[in-house]
């Protein structure tokens, strides 16, 4: 007898146009599987939107809306408020409102709208798919691009190491809004990811998921490395998996020893120009940040 | 029961929104719109209006929240002015192409810089090509009436376009005038409970806002325009119904003493009332002059304006906006609307009333006289700006 842990239903149906090895499409599929049918999905402009909605086709079997790049959290706020009123007036029952956006749509152009929605306390789940650049428009840098990475607008060159700034800590910004639930996840850990989705939608109020999604096209890596790179990001401490529930921090995966970041860097073209000294500098930052995060964990 | 009360323009709008039983309000404060958002907040706080008020962090989000709420099937309202409407600009295209009946009131304000909180029509003109029904009010009663009408029009199954009511900042938003408020039952008859046919609903999933590659975008825009054009007749129908219930009438173009007029002055918004005084004065002197007001700005009332000025030799147009390097936007549209007419009037362009500057009765009289001179002798300039201190 086989036991299914995950539904076979695909509300995000196959046949969309994501690149081979797309971590974002994989993550979306996992998130949607964990969400069930009683949802309304709001999508920002970006890869997640463009791969699955060319008129007159759609991959979405649940109600779905896309309008612009930076207003996803505001559209979601409007829907959530509308559902509240129509339920109160006895017209229709509520559904859970979910927002999808990339790291650019979240940590750059959509940050104000997201902050507003989190601060106002709407009952919605906002999911950021972080592929560490504006991939839809051709691998331009975002504030979520890691230090040293090559992108088309922060190219490496004689005078440049590529991205000159450290990755913006978007999960910390979300937590700073005192929301009931925040978690990081990665589709290389599907059960952890889906558990977190379920937890996130079960809270009353805003929740935020920051999902690390490998982009072979933009990261200049082999398309069969998506799962491996996701694991390495976690095992190196570059992208720690943790959750914050009502202010309490909990590590989801805590490797006894961190893998050197070199193992993660060397299989990606976007880091290939980096010298050993720069990698060492980044290693120090990663180790330090990881330690500081662990200090926040309960019971440690 | 109908009652007559003294109300500020902003409060009259708020009263219309309350009586329309709006579900979701979302707005961001900006002078001279603030009294509307404040009054509505009070109504919600006091339980006089059962709505969700989303106190957003920007106008971009105010319009976005309205779009989301409307897509989910709620009746929505927002209000703004000047810079706020500019910040909404990107979002304004969404309800008109997704066919969402969002209603907005704009307390018209000049645009920076220099910063000006005072009224003109620059903000309204900057959004004329988007596919919103745009209606201009002239006094406080109209601000109330036309806000109600905006719901009746926008939510009509043969329209389903967003609608914007313009009231001049300060000149209307902050002016107290007597207003006749109807009975709630009359309002309910006029704008019955609304059910959006394609609302976001898990029981009947739809995808909204898919992207349009070149093989389909043109068709999408063509069908949008066909639908928008055909909503013109519904506007008139709605105003007819309004008259039947409330006994006040509105027309896409409203005329004042134009019967045998040789010269017709054309203005929009609150300045029409002063312009009427100028017409009265000149009529008393035996001059054959009249006034036309564009009540409906979009969809543009081609037939009505052609009829309204039939027989006149000259149309003098006042714009409260300047299109830099061109002239007055209303005038340029009128010139093109008359271009193919056989017996068209000459059209002369004036620009004034920018950033809250008043226009006096004398200045309207001047425009009519100077317009005749320009018509007879020509002018070096495409338009004349009035009231400029040299
Ligand atoms: C106002 C506005 N500015 C710029 C764009 C162009 N644009 C579309 S998607 C995108 C990048 C999306 O990046 P991200 O949010 O990281 O998502 P990804 O495509 O990487 O999943 C940009 C810059 C736009 N659509 N709208």
CATH assignment at residue B28: 3.40.50.970
A47 Cβ inside 6 Å of ligand 1 = yes
CB contact under 8 A, B211 and A50: yes
Condensed to tens digits (0 to 9), the pLDDT of residues B49-101 reads 999 999 999 999 999 999 999 999 999 999 999 999 999 999 999 999 999 99
Q: Taking the model in full, what pTM does it have?
A: 0.98
> B327 in a domain, yes or no?
yes
Asked if residue B372 has pLDDT above 70, the reply is yes
| For the CA of A142, the nearest atom of ligand 1 | 16
State chain A's maximal CA–CA distance in angstroms. 65
CB contact under 8 A, A92 and B73: yes
Residues in chain B closer than 8 A to A32 (CB atoms): none
A48 Cβ inside 6 Å of ligand 1 = yes
A23 Cβ inside 6 Å of ligand 1 = no
If pLDDT is split at 50, 70 and 90, which confidence band does A4 have? Answer: confident
How many structural domains is chain B composed of? 2
Does B117 lie in the same domain as B144?
A: yes
Expressed as residue numbers, the domain containing B283 is 253-385
Mutate to test the interface with B, among A44, A48, A59, A65 (most CBs of B within 10 A): A65
Q: Which residue of A has its CA nearest to B200?
A: A63
Spell out where chain A has E strands. 39-43, 64-66, 96-102, 124-130, 156-157, 160-161, 181-185, 207-212, 242-245, 248-251
Phi first, then psi, for residue A212 (nearest 5°) are -80, 120
Rounded-to-integer distance, Cα B327 and Cα B319, Å: 9
Residues in chain A closer than 8 A to B209 (CB atoms): 43, 53, 65-67
Condensed to tens digits (0 to 9), the pLDDT of residues A246-297 reads 999 999 999 999 999 999 999 999 999 999 999 999 999 999 999 999 999 9
Looking at every residue in chain B, the average pLDDT score rounds to 97
Condensed to tens digits (0 to 9), the pLDDT of residues A106-162 reads 999 999 999 999 999 999 999 999 999 999 999 999 999 999 999 999 999 999 999
Does B159 lie in the same domain as B116?
A: yes
Does B177 lie in the same domain as B83?
A: yes
Asked if residue B23 has pLDDT above 80, the reply is yes
Query: What does the pLDDT read at residue A31?
Result: 98
A71 Cβ inside 6 Å of ligand 1 = no
Does B23 lie in the same domain as B160?
A: yes
Q: Pick from B246, B263, B288: which residue ends a domain?
A: B246
Tell me which of A102, A187, A216 to substitute to probe ligand 1's pocket, judged by most ligand atoms within 8 Å of the beta carbon.
Answer: A102
Residues in chain A closer than 8 A to B220 (CB atoms): 55
Q: Whose CA is nearest to atom 1 of ligand 1?
A: A69
Q: Identify residues of B whose CB sits under 8 angstroms from chain A CBs.
A: 23-24, 26, 50-52, 54-58, 60-61, 64-74, 76, 90-91, 94, 98, 200-202, 204-213, 216, 220
If pLDDT is split at 50, 70 and 90, which confidence band does B4 have? Answer: very high
Report the gap between the CA of B323 and the closest CA in chain A (Å). Answer: 28
Query: What does the pLDDT read at residue A1?
Result: 62
> B35 in a domain, yes or no?
yes
Does B364 lie in the same domain as B326?
A: yes
Does B193 lie in the same domain as B105?
A: yes
Q: Pick from B246, B276, B294: which residue ends a domain?
A: B246
Phi first, then psi, for residue A80 (nearest 5°) are -60, -45
Bridge-based pairing state of the strands B207-208 and B289-294: unpaired
CB contact under 8 A, A77 and B65: yes
Query: What does the pLDDT read at residue A300?
Result: 52
Tell me which of A18, A136, A168 to substitute to probe ligand 1's pocket, judged by most ligand atoms within 8 Å of the beta carbon.
Answer: A136
- Radius of gyration (Cα) for chain A, nearest Å? 19
CATH assignment at residue B377: 3.40.50.920
**Distance (Å) from CA A212 to ligand 1 centroid:** 17
If pLDDT is split at 50, 70 and 90, which confidence band does A298 have? Answer: confident
> B44 in a domain, yes or no?
yes
Cβ neighbors of B222 (< 8 A, separation 6 or more) are none
Q: Whose CA is nearest to atom 5 of ligand 1?
A: A69
> B131 in a domain, yes or no?
yes
Condensed to tens digits (0 to 9), the pLDDT of residues B257-282 reads 999 999 999 999 999 999 999 999 99
> B390 in a domain, yes or no?
no
If pLDDT is split at 50, 70 and 90, which confidence band does A5 have? Answer: confident
Q: Pick from B195, B215, B246: which residue ends a domain?
A: B246
Q: What is the DSSP letter of B356?
A: G
Rounded-to-integer distance, Cα A106 and Cα A126, Å: 9
Q: Which residues pair with B96 in a beta bridge?
A: none
Query: What does the pLDDT read at residue A299?
Result: 59
Condensed to tens digits (0 to 9), the pLDDT of residues B108-147 reads 999 999 999 999 999 999 999 999 999 999 999 999 999 9
> B337 in a domain, yes or no?
yes
Query: Domains of chain A (ranges plus CATH)?
Result: 23-294 (3.40.50.970)
Residues in chain B closer than 8 A to A58 (CB atoms): 207, 210
Does B210 lie in the same domain as B88?
A: yes
Tell me which of A42, A126, A137 to substitute to probe ligand 1's pocket, judged by most ligand atoms within 8 Å of the beta carbon.
Answer: A137
**B332, containing H or E segment:** helix B329-338
Residue B152 corresponds to which tokens in the numbers above?
């009746």
Rounded-to-integer distance, Cα B318 and Cα B349, Å: 6
Report the gap between the CA of B217 and the closest CA in chain A (Å). Answer: 9
Q: Whose CA is nearest to atom 7 of ligand 1?
A: A137
Cβ neighbors of B189 (< 8 A, separation 6 or more) are B245
Residues in chain A closer than 8 A to B211 (CB atoms): 49-50, 53-55, 66
Angle at B172 between CA B171 and CA B174, to 5 degrees: 85
Q: Which residue of B has its CA nearest to A63?
A: B205
Rounded-to-integer distance, Cα A204 and Cα A202, Å: 7
**Distance (Å) from CA B277 to ligand 1 centroid:** 54
Rounded-to-integer distance, Cα B108 and Cα B106, Å: 5
Query: What does the pLDDT read at residue A3?
Result: 77
ipTM of this complex:
0.97
Rounded-to-integer distance, Cα B249 and Cα B215, Å: 44
Please tell me whether residue B111 adopts helix, strand or coil conformation.
coil
Does B183 lie in the same domain as B80?
A: yes
Condensed to tens digits (0 to 9), the pLDDT of residues A30-57 reads 999 999 999 999 999 999 999 999 999 9
Does B285 lie in the same domain as B209?
A: no
**Distance (Å) from CA A135 to ligand 1 centroid:** 8
A103 Cβ inside 6 Å of ligand 1 = yes
Q: Which residue of B has its CA nearest to A109?
A: B60
Does B290 lie in the same domain as B201?
A: no
Does B65 lie in the same domain as B85?
A: yes
Condensed to tens digits (0 to 9), the pLDDT of residues B228-268 reads 999 999 999 999 999 999 999 999 999 999 999 999 999 99
Condensed to tens digits (0 to 9), the pLDDT of residues A187-232 reads 999 999 999 999 999 999 999 999 999 999 999 999 999 999 999 9
Count Cβ atoms below 10 Å from residue B340 Cβ, excluding itself. Answer: 7
Does B164 lie in the same domain as B90?
A: yes
CB contact under 8 A, B68 and A76: yes
């Amino acid at each position: 007898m086989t036991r299914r842990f995950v539904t076979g239903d695909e509300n995000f149906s196959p046949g969309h146009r994501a690149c081979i090895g797309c971590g974002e499409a994989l993550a979306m599929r996992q998130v949607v599987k964990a969400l069930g049918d009683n949802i309304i999905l709001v999508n920002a402009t970006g890869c997640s939107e463009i791969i699955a909605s060319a008129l007159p086709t759609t991959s979405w079997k649940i109600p779905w809306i896309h309008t612009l790049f930076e207003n996803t959290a505001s559209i979601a706020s409007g829907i959530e408020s509308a559902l509240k009123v129509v339920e109160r007036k006895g017209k229709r029952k509520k559904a859970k409102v979910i927002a999808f956006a990339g790291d650019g749509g979240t940590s750059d152009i959509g940050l104000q709208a997201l902050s507003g929605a989190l601060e106002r306390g709407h009952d919605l789940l906002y999911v950021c798919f972080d592929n560490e650049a504006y991939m839809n428009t051709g691998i331009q840098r975002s504030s979520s691009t890691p230090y040293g990475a090559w992108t088309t607008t922060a190219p490496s060159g004689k005078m440049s190491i590529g991205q000159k700034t450290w990755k913006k800590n978007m999960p910390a910004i979300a937590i700073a809004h005192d929301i009931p639930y925040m978690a990081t996840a990665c589709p290389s850990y599907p059960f952890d990811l889906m558990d977190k989705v379920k937890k996130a939608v079960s809270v009353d109020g805003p929740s935020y998921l920051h999902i690390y999604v490998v982009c072979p096209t933009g990261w200049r890596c082999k398309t069969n490395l998506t799962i491996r790179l996701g694991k390495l990001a976690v095992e190196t401490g570059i992208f720690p998996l943790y959750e914050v529930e009502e202010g309490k921090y909990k590590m989801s995966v805590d490797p006894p020893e961190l893998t050197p970041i070199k193992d993660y860097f060397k299989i990606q073209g976007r880091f290939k120009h980096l010298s050993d000294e720069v990698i060492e500098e980044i290693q120090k930052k990663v180790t330090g940040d990881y330690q500081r995060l662990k200090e926040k964990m309960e019971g440690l | 029961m109908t009652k007559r009360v003294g109300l500020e323009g902003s409060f009259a709008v708020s009263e219309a929104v309350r009586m329309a039983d709006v579900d979701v309000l979302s707005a961001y404060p900006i002078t001279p719109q603030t009294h509307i958002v404040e009054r509505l907040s009070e109504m919600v706080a006091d339980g006089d209006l059962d709505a969700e008020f989303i106190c957003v962090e920007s106008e971009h989000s105010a319009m976005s929240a309205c779009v989301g709420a409307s897509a989910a099937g709620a009746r929505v309202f927002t209000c703004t002015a000047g810079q706020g409407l500019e910040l909404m600009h990107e979002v304004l295209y969404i309800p008109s192409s997704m066919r969402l009946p969002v209603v907005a009131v704009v307390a018209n304000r000049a645009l920076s810089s220099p910063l000006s909180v005072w009224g003109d029509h620059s903000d309204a003109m900057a959004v004329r090509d988007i596919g919103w029904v745009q209606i201009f009010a002239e006094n406080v009663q109209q601000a109330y009436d036309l806000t109600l009408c905006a719901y009746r029009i926008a939510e009509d199954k043969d329209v389903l376009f967003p609608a914007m009511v313009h009231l001049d900042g300060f000149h209307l938003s902050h002016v107290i005038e007597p207003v006749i408020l109807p009975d709630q039952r009359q309002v309910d008859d006029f704008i019955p409970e609304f059910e959006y046919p394609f609302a976001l609903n898990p029981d009947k999933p739809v995808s909204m806002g898919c992207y349009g590659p070149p093989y389909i975008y043109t068709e999408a825009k063509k069908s949008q325009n066909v639908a928008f054009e055909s909503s013109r007749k519904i506007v008139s129908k709605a105003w007819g119904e309004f008259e039947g219930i409330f006994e006040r009438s509105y027309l896409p173009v409203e005329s004042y003493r134009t019967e045998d007029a040789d010269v017709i002055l054309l203005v929009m918004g609150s300045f029409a009332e002063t312009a009427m005084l100028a017409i009265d004065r000149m009529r008393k002197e035996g001059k054959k002059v009249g006034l036309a007001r564009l009540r409906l700005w979009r969809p543009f009332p081609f037939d009505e304006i052609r009829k309204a000025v039939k027989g006149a030799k000259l149309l003098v147009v006042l714009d409260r906006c300047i299109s830099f390097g061109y002239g007055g936007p209303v005038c340029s549209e009128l010139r093109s609307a008359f271009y193919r007419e056989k017996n068209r009037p000459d059209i002369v362009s004036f620009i004034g009333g920018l950033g809250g500057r008043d226009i006096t009765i004398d200045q309207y009289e001047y425009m009519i006289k100077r317009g005749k001179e320009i018509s007879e002798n020509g002018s070096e300039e495409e338009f004349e700006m009035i009231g400029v201190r040299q």
